[in-house]
Amino acid sequence: MTENPRTADRRAEAKRQAQISRGMRADRFEHAERAEAERRAQIDETAEPPAAAGPPQLTRGMWQGMVFGGLVGALIGALVALPFAVIPFMDPVGARLLLLAIAGALAGAAAGAVFWGGHLPEVEHEIDDEHTGDE
């Protein structure tokens, strides 16, 4: 028995649509699998926190530089700030001297600790060109 050409065309079209549909489902499934794998990788990546800030991440030279720089910077900062006590912004002169000495010491200590904490390891060759990107 011969099949009507119109029916054959419909059957072929239905078969082609089914194949396309299966292909689209497979593509969506692969995409979902890739997205899930990426999501899991991101979760695994963030599951372990980065090393905490603090003593374990600082070398001996960094610590020594920070302490030395902080002490020297505090002294220099206090001496640099003291002349500003001649500006009459507070009534007792002693309070002005104390306030400016403390403010100068804090600023100097911070600057000295940052500078010497980074500079001393270079001077002591704790940091080599491989880590700094210099050639």
Residue type for position 100: L
Q: What is the dihedral of CA 100, 104, 106, 109, to 10 degrees?
A: -160
Residues 33, 97, single domain; the answer is: no
The string of pLDDT tens digits covering residues 71-93 is 999 999 999 999 998 998 888 98
Q: Is 108 exposed, middle or buried (0-12, 13-18, 19+ CB in 10 A)?
A: buried
DSSP 92: S
- Look up the domain containing 16 and give its range: 1-48
The residue to which tokens 């649509």 are assigned: 17
pTM for this prediction = 0.53
Residue 116: its H or E element: helix 93-123
Residues 21 and 73 in one domain: no
Do residues 35 and 83 both lie within one domain? no
Scanning the structure block, which residue is given the tokens 């600057």?
111
The angle subtended at Cα 30 by Cα 28 and Cα 35, nearest 5°, is 90
CA distances from 62 to 25, 67, 118, 128, 132 (A): 58, 9, 6, 14, 15
Mean pLDDT (the chain) is 81
Rg (CA), the chain: 36
Tell me the pLDDT band of 70, cut-offs 50, 70 and 90.
very high
Q: How high is the pLDDT of residue 90?
A: 86
Same domain for 22 and 81, yes or no, is: no
Both 78 and 15 in one domain: the answer is: no
Same domain? 43 vs 60: no
Structural domains of the chain, count: 2
Q: Do 97 and 37 fall into the same domain?
A: no
